[in-house]
Structure 1
Amino acid sequence: MQSTANAAKLQSKPSSRELSAAGLRAFFNIARDWGLNADAQMVLLGAPGRSTFFKWKSAPESADLKRDTLERLSYILGIYKALQILLPAADAADAWVKKPNSAPLFGGKSALDRMLGGNVADLVAVRQYLDARRGGWA
């Protein structure tokens, strides 16, 4: 009986392609909500080639993303979720990423400016800042 449960777990684990498609669909919805242009979206995704980016955008189900891009998507989704918790009004949560911020991490610039630094570490820093603000682990 235990082997049946293990087999069910293995079968229910999403494939890399399924994770990629779901992550990209969520990302493009977030990018729309945040009002990001294609160039900003590409930086957040780790600078894929333009043709690759537009292929992902038009057919996310065909993507099989590398670990770096999946990690970036995870941080962006976490940032988005944290903002929804901290600022329940969707328009305020979406606007926050572009507003100047006096916290030392941002130095008067916006969280988006920090995230557009291009490094995964920039996404990590914003995610940790928001997690700390909502009382989670930093």
Structure 2
Amino acid sequence: MLNPSVMQDDRPARLQGFSAETDRTRLSRTALKAYRRLAEQWGLTGQQAAALLGVSMSTWERLKPETVEKTLTQDQMTRISALTGIYKALHLLFADQMADRWLQLENTGPLFDRLTPVAAMIEGGIPHMLEVRRYLDAVRGGL
């Protein structure tokens, strides 16, 4: 039986990363589609959606249509990956309505300092997004 983490020639399987442009080109359409849905589900304003993705409002407006074909940057792919993980963790922790509202509610936890999780992640960028993802994974017993 083959071990899924090892390729047939006994080399470890390459972890999915976002540094190779070919990988980003292949994944960008799906990532953008997921992010558009996530932004809508969470009720993000255009400004929030743009800030979480690390782009200007005008760039976000250009990326919103489903027909857009754009290769995202490594930074943008990392942001979408972290936010998708947060979405999944929230939906494992809470009923759908609360899972989608949680990011817009003031939070007194040490990661948030009375900000909403969205505001805290906009302020803290990728490192904070990854911390929120780890926090939610820990809360649900995943770590």
Q: 2:139 aligns to what?
A: 133
| Cα distance in 2 between the residues matched to 1:60 and 1:122 | 31
Structure 1's consecutive aligned runs of 4 or more residues displaced over 6 angstroms after TM superposition are none
Q: 1:80 aligns to what?
A: 87
Q: 1:53 aligns to what?
A: 60
Q: 2:72 aligns to what?
A: 65
Structure-2-length-normalised TM-score: 0.78
Identity %: 35
Give ranges in structure 1 of 5+ residues lacking alignment.
Answer: 7-13
Q: 2:109 aligns to what?
A: 103
Matched, 1:26 2:70: no
How far is the alpha carbon of 1:61 from its aligned partner?
A: 4.8
How far is the alpha carbon of 1:90 from its aligned partner?
A: 1.0
How far is the alpha carbon of 1:54 from its aligned partner?
A: 2.1
Give ranges in structure 2 of 5+ residues lacking alignment.
Answer: 1-7, 10-21
Higher-helix-fraction structure: 1
How far is the alpha carbon of 1:59 from its aligned partner?
A: 4.0
Kept in 2: contact 1:24–1:60 (CA 8 A)? no
What letter corresponds to residue 100 of structure 1 in structure 2? E
Q: RMSD of aligned C-alpha atoms?
A: 2.2
How far is the alpha carbon of 1:119 from its aligned partner?
A: 1.6
What letter corresponds to residue 86 of structure 2 in structure 1? I
Q: 2:3 aligns to what?
A: none
